Chains A and B, each alone.
Chain A
């Protein structure tokens, strides 16, 4: 089952006029996977999704759905449904009619349609509003109906284009869990598009980070966060400190580099072999302060402190170089370091990454 590929995208390129939106993009999505395309706005996520649905055609490359080449299939012949960014519920139909629409087009008989529509509306907790029209719903409710409408025909792949971005914060968090649950229960392959890294890390089985029309990295949320493939990924996903370093030696995936603090450290690397200059990435939460400082340790002065409740962010000055650290406030004392103090600063080299600049 896991062997089966739901989607195969091969060397897909697309230009709009002189602007190249996608450059030879390739990836596979497994059946039953929750796959996320993550990237900044304008990087080509929607364009890719629209190609899977059949609304755009690549200039070159191929797209297969469950092993079948689909480029010559119009949208209505692809067993793929979309949850549109603005939901696109039909305003002249009731919720019931909206959900039934796809089933009618597939030629289901009436009794079966009625049962399925009821089941789907129940699954998204909208059964009491079946006779209403989309105009009378809140954003969150529209979102649920759009989901029910897209899931009702039991598609092979469900495409979701930033479905949560129009919702307010609280609702967004609740919908994340609900989406994940819907995906597990239905066993349908989800292709989810977002520019919100937290959403991507929280929900996905695997993430493809897109940048500048190219796939920057594909991997599990932990791989993407802990082992970023390049500077773009490290920067886009989560917070980090970047330092220009001089590469002294690379051996077996480890690079020995001279840092601007003067220290020489050895840390895991990606794509650095043969280069002289590289970038060291250190996540703020990997930096420990005071008694907890271990690994590579230095002295630093706290120049700024931002108390966030659960966390406190510190900006440190280490011999003229700025380093950001964040600390979980596990107890009242956790926040005890004051601005202006000089403290021990340390991080484990294994939790840092050396990346191509």
Chain B
């Protein structure tokens, strides 16, 4: 009976799924394939070449943009994850938290607002306080909008973790700090890691805020790529795209491995 209602037995499901995956991955496949094309024109295959990779890796402006992005994302990840972790601990584990629901909403609010609003608000805020340093502006803005992304998995993990372990720890003479360091943090680590990963990806991926805040010396990777497109597509873009896809896959694999290890440890 459950068999008949199983979605796997609906007619036409197979072809539909296939179509969906083609729709999803065909553009990516094209980018990857043509990044190895010797010809400058996308769509005309003339032979295999690594030329565009060489030119991408030798592009000083590109490498600078990458460096800016990595720096901003790295610092923003650390800041956002720390804030998110503290917020989650206070909201989920704190005693007598009066505005638990409200506090959570405040932390998550940036998820609900259109990013352009936040970006403009940041811009106005920075000019009001007279902050000039482009890198600082990017880091502060990114830390802010990455925090809710880091918060969600940490909160989920903490909520799913039974209080018993922390009580057992206190029962065994551990101070609150020792309990956090030796019991809570190791047990919610997969959540913290996912949160950090999400924050990092969101920061790396950000265009709207970075574009609004970027100045001469502080162009992030997405902003730079966008500027390349404006001056016409080039196979170098395909190479950059492919490299980004590979980097993302590596990150995702590591994230999955960590999550799997966490699940094994906690059974």
Within 8 A of A (CB), among B155-174: 162, 164-165, 167-174
Are B167 and A92 in contact (CB-based, < 8 A)? no
Are A101 and B266 in contact (CB-based, < 8 A)? no
Are B171 and A75 in contact (CB-based, < 8 A)? yes
Residue of A with least CB distance to B172: A102
Are A106 and B173 in contact (CB-based, < 8 A)? yes
Known A-B contacts A91-B266, A92-B187, A105-B178; the reply to A80 vs B171 at CB < 8 A is: yes
Residue of A with least CB distance to B170: A75
Are B170 and A76 in contact (CB-based, < 8 A)? yes
Residue of A with least CB distance to B267: A135
B248 within 8 A of A: no
A53 within 8 A of B: yes
- Tell me the minimal C-beta distance from A153 to chain B in angstroms: 7
Known A-B contacts A92-B186, A92-B266; the reply to A76 vs B168 at CB < 8 A is: no
**Chain A residues whose C-beta falls within 8 Å of the C-beta of B175 in the assembled complex:** 76, 105
Complex Cα distance, B179 from A101, in Å, reads 10
Are B167 and A88 in contact (CB-based, < 8 A)? yes
**Chain B residues whose C-beta falls within 8 Å of the C-beta of A55 in the assembled complex:** 167, 170
Within 8 A of B (CB), among A45-90: 53-55, 74-77, 80-82, 84, 86, 88-90
Among A75, A77, A102, A133, which residue has its beta carbon within 8 angstroms of that of B167? A75
**Chain A residues whose C-beta falls within 8 Å of the C-beta of B231 in the assembled complex:** none
B132 within 8 A of A: no
A149 within 8 A of B: yes
Complex Cα distance, B178 from A160, in Å, reads 24
B183 within 8 A of A: yes
Residue of B with least CB distance to A89: B168
**Chain B residues whose C-beta falls within 8 Å of the C-beta of A75 in the assembled complex:** 167, 170-171
Render B125-146 as a binary contact track against A, CB cut-off 8 A, 1 for contact: 0000000000000000000000
- Tell me the minimal C-beta distance from B245 to chain A in angstroms: 34
**Chain A residues whose C-beta falls within 8 Å of the C-beta of B165 in the assembled complex:** 88, 90-91
B265 within 8 A of A: yes
Complex Cα distance, B150 from A320, in Å, reads 73
Within 8 A of A (CB), among B62-112: none
Main secondary structure on chain B at its contact with chain A?
helix
Render A151-176 as a binary contact track against B, CB cut-off 8 A, 1 for contact: 00100000000000000000000000
Residue of A with least CB distance to B164: A88
Are A86 and B164 in contact (CB-based, < 8 A)? yes
**Chain B residues whose C-beta falls within 8 Å of the C-beta of A153 in the assembled complex:** 172-173
Are A90 and B173 in contact (CB-based, < 8 A)? no
**Chain A residues whose C-beta falls within 8 Å of the C-beta of B265 in the assembled complex:** 91-92, 133, 135
Are A81 and B171 in contact (CB-based, < 8 A)? yes
Are A105 and B168 in contact (CB-based, < 8 A)? no
**Chain A residues whose C-beta falls within 8 Å of the C-beta of B171 in the assembled complex:** 53, 75-76, 80-82, 150
**Chain B residues whose C-beta falls within 8 Å of the C-beta of A150 in the assembled complex:** 171-172
Complex Cα distance, B186 from A91, in Å, reads 10
Render B178-206 as a binary contact track against A, CB cut-off 8 A, 1 for contact: 10001100110000000000000000000
**Chain A residues whose C-beta falls within 8 Å of the C-beta of B162 in the assembled complex:** 88
Among B164, B172, B182, B264, which residue has its beta carbon within 8 angstroms of that of A81? B172
Are B170 and A74 in contact (CB-based, < 8 A)? yes
Residue of B with least CB distance to A91: B266
- Tell me the minimal C-beta distance from A74 to chain B in angstroms: 7
Complex Cα distance, B172 from A133, in Å, reads 18
Known A-B contacts A91-B187, A92-B187, A92-B265; the reply to A101 vs B174 at CB < 8 A is: yes
Complex Cα distance, B168 from A221, in Å, reads 31
Residue of B with least CB distance to A133: B265
Are A90 and B168 in contact (CB-based, < 8 A)? yes
- Tell me the minimal C-beta distance from B174 to chain A in angstroms: 5
Are A88 and B187 in contact (CB-based, < 8 A)? no
Residue of B with least CB distance to A79: B173
Among A86, A91, A101, which residue has its beta carbon within 8 angstroms of that of B169? A101
Are A105 and B173 in contact (CB-based, < 8 A)? yes
Complex Cα distance, B256 from A264, in Å, reads 79
Residue of B with least CB distance to A54: B170
Residue of A with least CB distance to B178: A105
- Tell me the minimal C-beta distance from A141 to chain B in angstroms: 15
Residue of B with least CB distance to A106: B173
Residue of A with least CB distance to B174: A105
- Tell me the minimal C-beta distance from B142 to chain A in angstroms: 32
**Chain B residues whose C-beta falls within 8 Å of the C-beta of A53 in the assembled complex:** 167, 171
Render B218-257 as a binary contact track against A, CB cut-off 8 A, 1 for contact: 0000000000000000000000000000000000000000
Among B170, B172, B173, B267, which residue has its beta carbon within 8 angstroms of that of A91? B267
**Chain B residues whose C-beta falls within 8 Å of the C-beta of A86 in the assembled complex:** 164
Which residue among A55, A91, A106, A153 has the maximum number of chain B CB atoms within 10 Å of its CB? Answer: A91
Complex Cα distance, B182 from A75, in Å, reads 17
Are A101 and B172 in contact (CB-based, < 8 A)? yes
Shortest 6 CB-CB contacts between residues of A and residues of B: A102-B172, A105-B173, A88-B164, A88-B168, A75-B170, A135-B267
25 CB < 8 A contacts A-B:
A54-B170, A74-B170, A75-B167, A76-B170, A76-B174, A76-B175, A81-B171, A81-B172, A82-B167, A84-B167, A84-B168, A88-B162, A88-B164, A88-B165, A89-B168, A90-B165, A90-B169, A92-B186, A92-B187, A92-B266, A101-B182, A105-B173, A106-B173, A135-B264, A150-B171
- With A90-B165, A135-B264 already in contact, 8 other A-B pairs whose C-beta atoms are closer than 8 Å: A81-B172, A88-B168, A90-B168, A92-B266, A101-B169, A105-B173, A105-B178, A135-B267
